[in-house]
Structure 1
Amino acid sequence: MNLLHNEWYTEFSPDDAQRIAGTGDGCSKMMKLDGAELSGAWTGQAFSLNVDKILFSERSKFQDVLVFKSKTFGNVLVLDGAIQTTDRDEFAYQEMLAHLPMCSHPDPKQVLIIGGGDGGILREVLKHPSVERVVMCEIDEMVVQVAKKFLHGLATSFDSPKLQLHIGDGFEFLKGHEAEFDVIITDSSDPIGPAESLFGKSYYQLVRKALKEDGVLASQAESIWLHLPLISKLMNCARDLFPSVAYASATVPTYPSGTIGYLLASKRQMHVLSVPLRPLNDSECQSMGLKFYNRLLHSASFVLPNFAEEALNQQQNSGRDQ
């Protein structure tokens, strides 16, 4: 399906795109959790950006990879028809997904990034002086190469001596690691296609095993406006394995509904994840070049509207959840 029309790029939900193209009924493009179909990604709506120029368009071993220069959001990375990041608003997503867990750990030295091939999470993690090693496991090498060539603001840290880059499946990679990492960050696309294995209890079991005793997990966790049933299931999966679990949300204009969520989990008992263990002061935020994250926003991001709070934290009275 050609998503470009009269200099506009339109992002459809993958299931809608399949139906519009006449190549299927959309069922194969539904979001999944541990193999079970849940819903479309953002069925019934679409988002468009005015295109200035196509910079790159190829099929990798795993997905369609597109980069175009937009007229209002700079360069845009698209995977399998879904916008992943743009020059204009990338810092909101990258900073929150990185600094929420990093500031929730007392001394993060060993960090694992699953996904994150554009380099944004790596860039943010390396801003913490305590970090000694970052392992990144990205399944699609083409994403890394494209980021280096076209996403210069994101792909700034691939030459860091602290980085160990592994090209391969994150789920399989985790099987060989135990009690090794202080922080694990899952920077994945939606649970459709290559990223499907990074959502669900089986994945969280591997993450828990790979974390040290006081380890912290952060995962991309969709939107409260579109995916509450999925998020609720993810939260319950995490609660079965971690004593402290919480959900945060932030605004990112080019993501469906304009919001994105983050699931955080800690192996520490009674860990109030909404309160940073290492709050960054204003001077530190400035020296780190932060445009979005700060200590006040850290706490505020865990405050959810009533409908989401009721749906996601019904088990909070169990005494295990924060």
Structure 2
Amino acid sequence: MREFVYPEMMVHVPMCTHKAPQNVLVISEAPKRLQTEVARHEGVVVVHAPASLEALREVADGSVDVVICEADVDAAVAGHINRVLSEEGVVSMRHASLEEVQANTVLLGVLSNYFKVIMPYRLANEETLLLASKGNHPTADINLHRADMLDGLEYYNTDIHPAAFAMPNYIRKTYLGIIRN
């Protein structure tokens, strides 16, 4: 997979799902390429936290609109992500392969305590990311104007955004009642 696909999809899908993101938290040990993508959105303040629970504890309640998370997410991390997100907050994160049903079922169960929408989305290969939102739906509420105004992208666009959420029937059946869309 080309190296630009992952950071573009990790950042622009949640950024164009949120109505008006102003504060973005990047949780990563190597945040540079994610921060570069966030910087394409004018007027957005980027905060970086190392991929640790201790760093996440330092972020103020409700102070973040979008979280881009490369850390492993367990119940404690999910609780803190929920705490720091605003009322319309959106998070994108890595997760186990969709073939690892047990691991994903546990994660999705934890996230369901905090988010109305929880949906996997595909990159250019079989790898998937996960989007969780407190309010906005990634295909129904995409901000087309924001997505169309992004310059210099090599992969992400307004057609790729909703298409990334299309899943084959065996995935839909496997995760029926677990994925919230």
TM over 0.5: yes
| 1:265 Cα offset (Å) | 1.2
> 1:284 deviation in Å?
2.4
**Any stretches of 5+ residues in structure 2 without a counterpart?**
none
Q: Which residue, out of 262, 267, 270, partners 2:129?
A: 262
1:219 maps to 2:93: yes
Q: Distance in 1 between matches of 2:145 and 2:96?
A: 26
Alpha carbons 2:25, 2:46 under 8 Å: kept? yes
* Native 8 Å contact 2:49 2:56 kept in 1: no
Partner residue of 1:232 out of 75, 95, 105: 105
User: Residue by residue, what CA displacement relative to the aligned partner does 1:117-161 show, whole Å, maximum 9, x if unpaired?
Assistant: 151111101100131x211123xxxxxxxxxxxxxxxxxxxxxxx
Question: Contact 1:114/1:185 (CA < 8 Å) preserved in 2?
Answer: yes
Partner of 1:82: none
Matched-pair contact (CA < 8 Å) for 2:31–2:48: no
Q: 2:168 aligns with which of 277, 299, 305?
A: 305
Identity of matched residues, %: 26
**Relative to structure 1, is the Cα distance of residues 308 and 116 closer, same or farther in structure 2, using a 3 angstrom cutoff?**
farther
TM-score (norm 2): 0.89
Q: Which amino acid aligns with 2:130?
A: L
Q: Could you list the structure 1 runs, at least 4 aligned residues long, displaced by more than 4 angstroms after superposition.
A: 280-283
RCO higher in 1 or 2 (8 Å CA, sep ≥ 6)?
2
Instruction: Return the index of the structure with the highest Cα Rg.
Output: 1
**How far off its partner does 1:114 sit?**
0.3
2: distance between equivalents of 1:212 and 1:241?
12
- 1:105 and 2:29 correspond: no
Post-superposition Cα deviations, 1:226-270, rounded to whole Å, max 9, x if no partner, equal: 42322222222111221222111112xxxxxx43211111122xx
1:114 equivalent in alignment to 2:24: no
Q: Deviations over 1:57-102 (max 9, x none)?
A: xxxxxxxxxxxxxxxxxxxxxxxxxxxxxxx711111100000100
Match of 1:241 among 89, 101, 114: 114
Q: Contact 1:221–1:260 at 8 Å: present in 2 too?
A: no
Deviations 1:276-312 (A, max 9, x none): 4312578624xx2111111111111111111111222
In structure 1, the partner of 2:139 is 274
Tell me the amino acid that sits aligned with residue 296 of structure 1.
Answer: D
Structure 1 residue runs without a partner (length 5+): 1-87, 139-168, 189-197, 252-257
Q: Write the distance in 1 (CA, Å) between the matches of 2:158 and 2:116.
A: 23
Match of 1:206 among 77, 80, 85: 80
The root-mean-square deviation of aligned C-alpha atoms, in Å, is 2.1
Distance 2:56 2:173 in 1: 33
**Residue of structure 1 in register with 2:48 after alignment:** 136
> In structure 2, how many angstroms separate the alpha carbons of the residues matched to 1:282 and 1:111?
17
Q: How many equivalent residue pairs?
A: 180
Task: Check whether the contact 2:108–2:118 (CA below 8 A) recurs between aligned residues.
Answer: yes
CA distance in 1 between counterparts of 2:165 and 2:131 reads 10
Q: Which amino acid aligns with 2:115?
A: F
Query: What is the Cα deviation at residue 180 of structure 1?
Result: 0.6
* Greater share of strand: 1
